[in-house]
Amino acid sequence: EAQVTQNPRYLITVTGKKLTVTCSQNMNHEYMSWYRQDPGLGLRQIYYSMNVEVTDKGDVPEGYKVSRKEKRNFPLILESPSPNQTSLYFCASSLFGQYTGELFFGEGSRLTVL
């Protein structure tokens, strides 16, 4: 089954404790991206990757890091989480950006930073 898998789905952590949210897709998509969803703000793009070893900042990259060492994986790293990073996070992939297809979303990862 074609899918985007995120882990963990739910996480409660404390300020400053490094964490990684993994994202994996099995569709051989070149393009992957991360979003955060906050009430009243919709989804905002954090980082995106056009292919392996190619990443770029989205609209709200501060406080986040990403890496793309393999085509299927695109982890989101919070080196020193803060309470304002409490949010619902979505990973998405596409065959090649939005020009050729749709974004396939994972089910989301709800992060709480205390």
Partner 1 sequence: AQSVTQPDIHITVSEGASLELRCNYSYGATPYLFWYVQSPGQGLQLLLKYFSGDTLVQGIKGFEAEFKRSQSSFNLRKPSVHWSDAAEYFCAVGVGSSGNQFYFGTGTSLTVIP
User: Does residue 8 have a cis bond before it (omega within 30 degrees)?
Assistant: yes
Binding of residue 112 to partner 1 (CB under 8 A): no
Identified binder of partner 1 from the candidate list 41, 51, 70, 79, rule CB under 8 A: 41
The CB-of-101 to partner 1 minimum distance in angstroms stands at: 9
**What stretches of the chain adopt beta strand conformation (E)?**
4-7, 10-13, 19-25, 31-38, 42-51, 54-57, 65-66, 76-78, 87-94, 104-105, 109-113
What are the structure tokens assigned to 71, written together? 């085509």
Q: Is residue 14 classed as helix, strand or coil in its secondary structure?
A: coil
Stretch that binds partner 1, among 21-29, 60-68, 79-87, 104-112 (CB under 8 A): 104-112
Binding of residue 43 to partner 1 (CB under 8 A): yes
Residue linked to tokens 């409490």? 86
Binders of partner 1 in range 4-33 (CB under 8 A): 4, 31, 33
Binding site for partner 1 (CB under 8 A): 4, 31, 33, 35, 40-45, 48, 50, 56, 58-59, 90, 92, 97-99, 102-103, 105-108
